Every structure is written in C-alpha cells, then in structure tokens.
Chains A and B, each alone.
Chain A
C-alpha cells in the first residue's frame, strides 16, 4: 500500500514538473521588447499581488512596469500551472474584447463564484449569455423609457420645497 501511494505521489509530482516546464517554454516563446515575462514557481503572478497587497497596493508591480516601459503591450505570466496573458496595448484589448466567441470565462479562477453567479450575465457565455443580455437590455430600455415618461408627465414643483419636505 505504502509503495502504491509513493508511486502515485511521484507520478503526480512528475506531472506537475512537466506542466511547469511546458509553461516556462511557452512564456519564453512570448518574449519580445514590448512585453514582460514573469515566471515564479509555484504561484506565478499571484506572488506579486500578495507581496504588493501587504505593501498597500496590489497593482503596484503593474504600475511600475508601465512606468519603466510606456510601450508595454502585455504581461505574460501564470496563476499556478495556468498561463495568464494580461493585455495592456489598446489594439490588443480591442482585438480581444471584440472577438469573445473565441473564449469562455476561465472556470478555474471562478470556481468560488459559480455557486452564486455562475449562470448570470457576468460569468455565463455564448448562447446563455446572449439570451440574458438580450432580456436585460430590453428591461434597461424599458426602465429608462418609464423614467423618461414620468419626467414628462410629472407636474413641475418648486424644487426647494421638495427638498425640505423630504429632509
């Protein structure tokens, strides 16, 4: 039994090391003069967030990078074994945000959120998202119209008296 556990643990460890090696190679392939590659075993960019949070600004490292290089286009790093590319350049952001059919929301990070918000507008994708967005857009348009109509039909009252009555 002890041997089985040992072999199993060893296999898990080898698998993990393989993942980090592949990750490192991928991140290295993204290196360019207008990018920053950040690799840190085992946490990745989370390490920066944790350290900077202690100092009083989890964004401090990012702010520092853009100060060093105003032409920075992206930061390539990782959260654990998952590669994470953080886009900064407006053209890349545009390309990314206008082609959302290529992506789904990253499940791993949002495990904790999914029990509460998983099927809502924020975290759903593709057909479910489209359906919800359409219903909500219609509701927002309706609410806006309702308030505009109230605005037109309401009698004009002396504003100061409205104020003093309520306060």
Chain B
C-alpha cells in the first residue's frame, strides 16, 4: 500500500505540474500510474527509464490493447479467422503485428534483465535476498520443474508478464477513470462525503491501512456502482465446449462457444430499483436504498467474474483504485467540460468512446 501511495503521488506530481494550462487526458494519466504499479508490485522494476519506440510503455500497451480487440472483433477474423488477419489487408492488421512485435521485444528484454539478476543471486547462493515478486517466483518454479512434465517454458513466463501488465494496467485504469467521471455527477453532499473518506486515506499517506480502506464505505459504494453502470469487463472470454452437454436445460453442442455477459443483469429491474440511475447508496448497508437482494446471490453482480477463474487481482485492483482516487480527489479539483457526452466503445475493455479530458487545479 505505501508503494501505491508513493507511486500515484509521484506521477500526479510529475504530470500535473502547476500551472496546468492544458486539459488532462485522465485515462492516460491513470494508466501511467497503474502500469507503474504493476511494475513495482509484481516485478520490482521501474518503468521511468523504459520506452517502446520512444513512447511511454503504458501508452504503447494501451494502444496495443485496443488493436487486439479491434482485430478480434473484426469482420475478417469473425468470418475467416487469424489467417485473414495474417494477410495484413487492413491498417489495423498491420498495426497489430507491428505493436505486438515491439511489445514482445520489450517484454523479453525486461524478463531477461530480471532473469539475469535472479541467476546471479542463485549462483552466489543469495537468492533469499531477492525480492518476492512474480517474475522471481516464476524463475524459481521453472528451475525446480526443469525436466518434469510441469516444466514452465520461457514463453509462458513472458506471456504471464504481458498478461499482468496489460490486465493490471488497463482494467484498473478504466475503473479509476469512470469513478472519477461519476464522482463529478454526484450531488454536492455526496461528493463531500466521498471527499471526507478520501482525505482520511490520502492524509494517512504511507501509513494507510487495510482497515481504513475497509471502512471507506461511500468510496467503496462509488466503485461498486461505477462497476455496475460501466464495468470495464462486460463478460468473460468465450469458451469452447469440449463435448456436448447440458447447462441446466440448455443444450450445448461440442465446439459451441459460450460466455456470460454481465451488463444485462446490472441493468435488470428484477434485481435493482431504478437500474438506469447511478445511485451509490444502493450499496450502503443501512441506507433506505440498500439492495439487499443483490448481495444474497453472488452470481448477479460479477464485475470480477466468479468461480475458480475469477479475477485474481480483484482485491489489489480495489485497493489501488481507492488509494489513487483518494490521492487525486484530495489534492486536485477538476471539472469535466459541460458539452462532454458519455458514449461507449469496445477498446480492450468497455470504455468511453471519446477521451475524458478535464481541467485540473490544485486544491
């Protein structure tokens, strides 16, 4: 938690230097923070000195995320599969290969550098002094599993690195963005209540505790309602059935594709009162608007999916969001242009169609 606080403060300070004359693209700013956090927390590495083609690696990855989805949901992929994308007929196809290849080289370089440190420590028998992070854990597992059936390949390690970087940066970045947007839509009294909780967290700084985050009920409700109205992950990645079977009474044929989609339940008036309205108090226990029925069934509201393949980083994501958002709201005041109209698109996640550029000033 201290790392989250320090990193967000450092980046806000770097990117929002007074006087701030231009509008700020909040998504880019938040993704730089969440990208840096993934690096610090999971790889004990620093993004400051790195770049891909002269760009901030997190900006580059955000673009790659959009390209991955644009190609996956393209007409050529839907009708003819990956072979059609390989023909590189469209700009999105060519960009995908260019961005993927550069990103892959970047990942390989970071992984190789970390591996070098791991191997040096291992050769000098000082591996216990190595930071306990994801890459070191994967290297250690690979060493121990060498020659067995469960051997971890180099490719698996690089893909795990990319997965954590992309998933950790993009989804949390979008949750932060949308929570910031919805904060501004609240009445002054609710904004004030959120700010009071945010101030407690930001003032605690490096000493922020899990208990303090747990007690920030209004802030937590803001995030839950944001996830209900504009969840970044609108469903799970589709699965292919290995054999013919029945899901309850539903016949699934072998090879059929299935997924679950979360948005219809989030907006179903069978579960929520006035579901089209953003009302964070529906998540506040004891409040008259509290939706007791939703909390009884964990498969109605599933922004992080559910079951054994749920989002492994969900708790970390909420911790990050609370600390970063509190740091921002406490130190900066902002406004969203009056003529901004929220529309959505599918980038890597479900996200605003037009960037949210805001006017920011120090409080």
Hey, which bits of chain A sit against chain B, CB under 8 A?
26, 29-30, 42-44, 46, 49, 53, 56-59, 62-63, 65-67, 70-75, 79-88, 90-98, 100, 102-113, 115-124, 127-129, 131-133, 135-140, 142-143, 146-148, 150-151, 154, 156-157, 159-160, 162-163, 166-167
Contacts and interface: CB of A to CB of B under 8 A. Distances in A.
A156 B250 contact: no
B205 A93 contact: no
Contact of A65 (B133, B248, B264, B302): B264
A37 B51 CA distance: 47
Given A119-B155, A132-B156, A151 B1 contact: yes
Contact of A95 (B71, B203, B247, B343): B247
B81 A111 contact: yes
B210 A85 contact: no
B286 interface: no
How many residues of B sit at the interface, in one of the four size bands?
Answer: 35 or more
Contacts, number: 281
Contacts of A80: 78-80
Given A46-B75, A117-B162, A59 B237 contact: no
A90 B300 contact: yes
A59 B265 contact: no
A34 to B, nearest CB: 10
Nearest to B330: A163
Contacts of A147: 1-3
Given A90-B300, A105-B238, A110 B72 contact: yes
Contacts of A142: 132, 137
A100 B162 contact: no
Interface in B228-265: 234-243, 245, 247-248, 250-253, 255-261, 263-265
A126 to B, nearest CB: 10
A74 B270 contact: no
Interface in B1-25: 1-3, 6, 9-10, 13
Given A117-B166, A151-B1, A85 B258 contact: yes
15 contacts: A63-B263, A82-B256, A100-B239, A102-B243, A106-B237, A106-B238, A108-B81, A110-B72, A119-B159, A120-B162, A121-B160, A143-B41, A148-B210, A156-B207, A163-B202
Contacts of B264: 62-63, 65-66, 72, 88
B108 to A, nearest CB: 12
Contacts of A103: 239-242, 258
